[in-house]
Amino acid sequence: MKKDIRNKKDIEKLVDTFFEKVKTDVVIGYLFNDVAQVNWDNLLPKMYDFWENILFHNGNYDGNPMYIHQELHRKSALKQQHFNHWLVLFTTTIDDLFSGTKAEEIKERAANIANALMIKTLT
């Protein structure tokens, strides 16, 4: 039986598993690997903090996701399908690993974030 997301260690497992999928994904992988040329050693700890703050409100994240996505959009046009695909990968990863109240909450928050980023980036 799957457990719920309970702490930062669970967030790290989620983020690591998700980005392993992203790195080789045919729809969005190039945005991370080729366009943004992500330094994974720098990005992953930021993503741990971001999602931990989203789910547990600890205030550890300091960043501007909107600016980052707008800059990426300037380099390579983002489309609705990119945001939708990201969300499918993310929610599938959660469902593969976790089950419970926090797992459902993070999926809902991810959908809201993806929608907000899409609207503000593409308009």
Instruction: Identify the CA nearest to 45 among candidates 11, 4, 91.
Output: 11
The model's pLDDT over 35-93, given as tens digits with 9 standing for 90+, comes to 999 999 999 999 999 999 999 999 889 999 999 999 999 999 999 999 999 999 999 99
Task: Count the neighbouring beta carbons within 10 Å of the beta carbon of residue 52.
Answer: 21
- The Cα 123–Cα 11 span in angstroms is 31
- The Cα 66–Cα 62 span in angstroms is 12
CATH number corresponding to 8-122: 1.10.490.10
The model's pLDDT over 83-116, given as tens digits with 9 standing for 90+, comes to 999 999 999 999 999 999 999 999 999 999 999 9
pTM as predicted: 0.96
| Whole-number pLDDT of residue 123 | 86
- The Cα 68–Cα 64 span in angstroms is 6
